[in-house]
Amino acid sequence: MTIGGERGVSREALKDEGLVSPAPHDAIITRARELLRHRSSGPDSQRGRDEALVDPEKLDRFMSLIDAQGVENYHPHHTGMGADFPITSVDLNKLATDYLGQSKVGERSSQPPAPNEKEVLDYVLFSGYLPPPDGHPFTTWDMTYDRIFRLLGKVKNGASVRVHIVGYPWAIGGTTSQEWQKHVHDEGFDAYGRALAPYLKTLLEEKPGSRVVLQANSFGALVSDAIQARLLEVYKRDPSQEDPRTKIKVLLDTPADNATIARGIRFSTLFLAEFAALFANPKTRDFVVAMAQDSRAFNIFLKKHTSDSQEVTNSIVDTKWDLWHMIKGRVLKAPDEFRTFIRRSWKF
Amino acid sequence: MDEAYLRRFLLHMITGRNLYVAQESKRGLGIAIDEGHFLDRADDIPKWSRMLAHLESNPSTE
């Protein structure tokens, strides 16, 4: 199967490059097929449930279109602070049009309604910390799939909806530098606020009446908080601009939202314990080993195929100040000002 | 970095690496690693499926 439009490559070809870890998208579809088989052979009460599964091939096609837009819209966001953030986005109205345009749903027309300008919604996702080369927009792509599926009802009702996914500068496709690391050392998460607030401001000002929802977990929640604080600071300096508090809603899931020493100790201990647990389980250990093999394969691949022979050379050491500030935690500034919903799936 | 190769690698990221889903797990379902946590996305498949069916549905029948 080939995805990614003209630039797409087959999954088989990727395996030929020496990339070894398993394909999650395929596994999700396999599971959907299992569910469908189970339901069709189950008792009537089970078959009659309202959870009628669509054909797994349709799910596959829809998710492939999400993937393709993610790849196609990927770009580095230049900050002028010694860091470029890898960012991508998915336009849900285009997604629906592309998907339904390919579909033959009975005899009826299945085109989605044209998006209106009355309800313009931008979701911006920030993932947690993962060491390089991870931390790019695709690191937690399941968050993206889930958010997009949940927003399809709004697309159906004619809203104009996009989902943006922000990666970090140390990851694949990003750029970091001594200058950036000094900013993080000196300013902590406020450096992220200064670097990314202009990106958010562009979204807020792009269309009148637009609303932005920030969805962030763990490390990403602290980044999100810093951006909100920066936007508010800029607004208070120049109140002639639109108040960002009227347009932004925030969904946070983080255990790092205070800065006590006790929390820092618990957090770092459990963070390390989690990595230890990853290596203790043979299945997850194999996965981590496969990731390392893939990184090596990618570096060889780049050397072989690119003119500048640039490699992904960032290491976890390049993120030491980011880690330090995450362990220290941050007293969130924004929830008192912005409409914020916080949940803690991690208890510390 | 050559853009085409970067995109090619990103595609691999999606299809093969970071969204790792084990075919076999403790519950016999798919499991995705997200931030070192195990998020069971298998439970989400019926919900995703319903949303997609809703997108496909004819407005006049709703």
Q: Quick one: pLDDT at residue A203?
A: 92
pLDDT average, residue stretch A304-318: 60
For residue A330, the model assigns a pLDDT of: 80
**A155-202 tens-digit pLDDT:** 998 899 999 999 999 887 788 889 999 999 999 999 999 999 999 999
Q: B26 exposed, middle or buried (CB, 10 Å; 0-12, 13-18, 19+)?
A: exposed
Q: On the CB side of A83, how many CA atoms lie within 13 Å of its CA? A: 26
CA distance A320 to A325: 9
pLDDT surpassing 80 at residue B4: no
- Banded model confidence at residue B23, pLDDT cuts 50, 70, 90: very low
Q: Which of residues 13-42 of B touch A (CB under 8 A)?
A: 13-25, 29-30, 32-37, 39, 41-42
Output the CA angle B1-A63-A69, nearest 5 degrees. Answer: 40
ipTM over 0.85: no
Rounded CA separation A62/A54 (Å):
11
- Give the whole-angstrom CA distance, residue A105 versus residue B59: 13
pLDDT of residue B35: 32
The number of C-beta contacts closer than 8 angstroms across A and B is 201
* Minimal Cβ distance to B5: which of A67, A141, A302: A302
Task: Please state whether A241 falls in left (phi above 0), alpha (psi between -120 and 50) or beta.
Answer: beta
Contact B20 A3 (CB under 8 A): no
Residue of B11, B25, B54 best to disrupt the A interface, most CBs of A under 10 A: B11
Q: Do A283 and B36 touch (CB under 8 A)?
A: no
Closest of A140, A344, A125, A191 to residue A256, by C-alpha: A344
Judged against a pLDDT cut of 90, whether residue B37 lies above it is answered with no
Confidence of residue A7 (pLDDT cuts 50, 70, 90): very low
Residue type, A33: R
A287 touches chain B (CB under 8 A): yes
Tell me the pLDDT of chain A averaged across its residues: 77
Phi-psi region of A82 (alpha: psi -120 to 50; beta: other; left: phi over 0): left
Which residues, 6+ apart, have CB-to-CB distance to B13 below 8 Å? A136, A138, A139, A141, A172
CA distance A252 to chain B (A): 15
pLDDT band at B29 (very low <50, low <70, confident <90, very high): very low
Residue-wise pLDDT tens digits, A38-74: 666 655 545 445 456 778 888 888 988 888 888 888 8
Amino acid A300: pLDDT: 61
Note the pLDDT of residue A317: 82
Task: Give me the pLDDT at residue A187, please.
Answer: 94
The pLDDT value given to residue B24? 31
User: What is the domain partition of chain A in residue ranges?
Assistant: 71-343
pLDDT in tens, A90-149: 999 999 999 998 765 544 456 666 776 678 999 999 988 877 777 888 877 778 888 999
Mean pLDDT taken over chain B: 55
Which of the four pLDDT bands, split at 50, 70 and 90, describes residue A3?
A: very low
pLDDT at position A23 over 60: no
Unique residue bearing structure tokens 């009355």: A118
Residue A2 DSSP symbol: B
pLDDT, one tens digit per residue, over A218-250 is: 888 899 999 999 999 999 998 888 889 989 988
Q: Per the CB < 8 Å rule, is B32 touching A24?
A: yes
* pLDDT average, residue stretch A197-208: 90
- DSSP assigned state of A336: G
Q: How confident is the model at residue B2 (pLDDT cuts 50, 70, 90)?
A: low
Q: Does A341 touch chain B (CB under 8 A)?
A: no
Asked if A103 has any chain B CB less than 8 Å from its own CB, the reply is: yes
Q: What is the pLDDT of residue B60?
A: 44
- Per-residue pLDDT at A348 exceeds 50: no
